[in-house]
Structure formats: structure tokens, C-alpha cells
A = this chain, B = another copy of it.
Amino acid sequence: MTFSFDDATRVEAVGDGTYVGHVNDGWDIRGNANGGYVMALMNSAMRDASGRTDPISITLHYLAPLPPCRFEIATEVIKRGRRFTTVSASMIVDGRTAIRAIGAFGELADPAQGLHHVDIPRPDLPPFAQCRARDPHAENIPLALMSKLNMRLHPDDLGFAFGQPSGRSLMRGYFAFADERPIDTHAVLLAADAFAPPVFNLIEVPGWVPTVELTVHLRARPAPGPLSCSFEARAVQGGMFEEDGVIFDENGVLVAQSRQIGLVPL
């Protein structure tokens, strides 16, 4: 069997470090591809070009919204090092650069090995069954992405969906796939931007808050089971917001950290 996420993030190598593929329908928010899905598309090409197993640090600049379309990703291997291979890539749509990315790829070490100091609490979540799914057809906005995922939000953070923002710029919940695809580091990239922006709990009708830049650091390969995630926007200022995310696996191991900067209405 093939899983929906693998179908949707498949790219084909056509030589000279170039890959082709499609922005699939169904991985969007209001018609434009989700930022985490786009990061996974870039990872499909960049990781393949690197010949390594895991994205370690990956940064995307989002230069254009992406409705379903055919794309080309041109990769450039900048350096093949012992520890990491560093790769740059451009997603080209209709002759225009829609995404530019850079990343370091390698093999994540066992998180239990060596010096260990993690001073980040695991997201404080009620049990999975007590968290709430968003209805992909409700809220008057098409949330196609939600039908692909088994995401559950902390009940305290769901107010934004009903016109009652909590006043705390926080979004916590579980991430899993609807078709139970196992979660690897490739899928963690989707999780890093699949949740509703925490600023939605600050401002009532925020509209679209486009990401300018997103960086994800992978810190361990996840154990089986849903991811526990927490996203917080601690600095909204000058028409921009910063958002930090932490992602843990079922064993309480830190799997990834994310940070993005994006635009809010001034």
C-alpha cells in the first residue's frame, strides 16, 4: 500500500540535480499548499540529492503562494562533508522561483548518546481522545489538509475556530496521519507547519498570515505514535510575527524545533 503523504511528496529525478513533481490538491489551506507540505516537497528533492538520511537543518523562503501545479526543483550540492551534506534548491513554477531553500542533511544520532540537556517541557496535552479535531468543511474555510491528518487540538487552544480567541498566542496538539502513515523525519517537516498559526488566538479575524521564512531543526528520529506539538508566537511586532514550535514523540523525546517569521496586518 502507498500512503497519501508519500504520493503527494514524490518527486522524479530527471538528471543534473533536477527533479519534477506536482503540488497536489488536498494539502492546502484555502487553495494554497501548506508551508509544511511545501517543505516536505523540497526535502524530497534535497535529501535525495544529498544521499543522506535525515534533514538536520532546513530553511525555506516562501516567495509565492502555491496552488496545485507542476514544478521543477533544481538542487545544488554545495558541500559533501563527513558529517553533513549541504544542499541549496529552488522550486520553479512557470519559469519563476516560488521557493528557495538551503539545508544540511546527515544521519541523526541516538538522542540518548552523549551529553543530554533538554530544558524544554514536553507540550502539556490532555490524552489524545480528549483533544479536538477540526472539521475540514466547517468554519467557512476549506481546510483540505485536515482531511489528510488525524490532528487533535488542545481544547483550550481551539477558541479561535469559533470566534473566541483564547488571548494566548499558543497552539498545542497531536499530529498523526489519517491513513496511519508512520512518522519519520520527512513527515515531521509537515507537522512543523500544519497547525493553525498561534496568532489566530490573539487576533479575531487575522485573515491570511503568510510565512516569509521557516527553519526546522530535526533533533531525533521519532518513535511510533502521534507527535505532541506546541507552537507559540512570542513576538508580534512591526507587522511581523515570530513563531516557535517544539515537537516531541510518544516517548517524550525532543524530535524537532521550528521557527518561522511571517506577516501580520500592521
Contacts and interface: CB of A to CB of B under 8 A. Distances in A.
A212 B81 CA distance: 12
Nearest to A167: B117
A56 B78 CA distance: 24
B102 A233 contact: no
A100 B57 CA distance: 13
Given A84-B212, A212-B104, A203 B115 contact: yes
A109 B169 contact: no
Contacts of A110: 238
Contacts of A108: 238
Interface size class of A (residues with CB under 8 A): 35 or more
A258 B143 CA distance: 32
A202 B115 contact: yes
A113 B240 CA distance: 11
A40 interface: no
Given A78-B100, A100-B102, 13 more contacts: A56-B212, A56-B240, A61-B86, A63-B78, A79-B97, A104-B212, A109-B238, A113-B239, A114-B264, A117-B235, A118-B235, A213-B215, A257-B259
Interface of A: 56-57, 59, 61, 63, 78-79, 81, 83-84, 86, 88, 90, 97, 100, 102, 104, 108-111, 113-120, 169, 202-203, 212-213, 215, 217, 219-220, 232-240, 242, 254, 257, 259, 261, 263-266
